Structure 1
């Protein structure tokens, strides 16, 4: 459990830290100066309960623009035989937030309110709870994301238009360590080299990755359909407003600015 947790934490840190950095020098302020300043905390903390579990969410109450290239992400490896030969819950050889072949506007991915959410449940002993796991997510994500996925454990739907749809609900195994192929799948996961998150109506609103030791049902955001129950191990959820940008398996370039 701990190794899985830190792998997911490393993924989150790698993504957010590449968004940029800032520095400031602190100085004292007088009472009159303080009276003219208004603001809010950078982090928000909230608690909730749902289906027998308790949740504590720590959110970064901010909008983030992100350009990042990640490679060879293998999360949730197991010793027993996998369904498809990968041996990992999530096996992504390339994950690129933004693209450099579509103009300056396509270079950045917009992320709204990143958050960590910790999951607890009662142990049956008065006053004692155990940690079940956590998830990392975004309230909104919009932009072009290049990706090459060999294995996916999760609930994902990608609209490929005339090429078909990638949907874990078509998988007889329920989306656990899925290689993106099935008898009813017109479009295979290996054919998708990039996706566009969000549309003219707004961003994609259900991206998160969980690290769990038991299945958990998370509560959907207001106005969203019920979420598929997240399974033990690493689980990725992403179904809202997700369309294929390429269906030839090619991942768009994402060179650093100036190249």
Structure 2
């Protein structure tokens, strides 16, 4: 037996010989309490790696609790997440793995994730992708999302997808003029889409997405719902491929 554990054993032996009430800090005398604290402190100073081990256990426990909590949130809100009847559905609509992205067009990490997500969708061929407009970064974010939703309502999914792709790669400020020009360049009627931004249905869709995000405890972008998992923040292509593999294994 290594000397590393001798202080702990000595402490345990001392407590074993003590009356039952001595195991309760409040029942100890001041001198017993001080001796107990000194022994614990001395042991931890001699073995600081024990603290790190305890922290690792705590972190694993909290991570497991987070995963379980997220899965419960996804299950409770599954219909609104995966089948709201409004959000754009792309990739392979019959894919065996579904990704839902809460996206903001002014989010730098959303733009960083965009080409990698597209590569995954194209190379895999069996992923269903759903976009949730979630503008949280100011007026330009809201303007872009309202324009995108207006496009979806007026011109359908194909037009929305083209505009979404263009907005994700767009540089510069988002203004009504820049949005109209962007849409016109895609063969859409930018002015008509701009006029449609004030429709109550546009407000309702964005408001519903914000309410859903709040229920899911989503506060930033990008955030992905990958089947029953919530993945907050940017994930590189390799990480997404790994998650897809794990999800498929879980279905077998």
TM-score, normalised relative to structure 1:
0.24
Structure with the largest fraction of helix: 2
Structure 2 length as normaliser, TM-score? 0.24
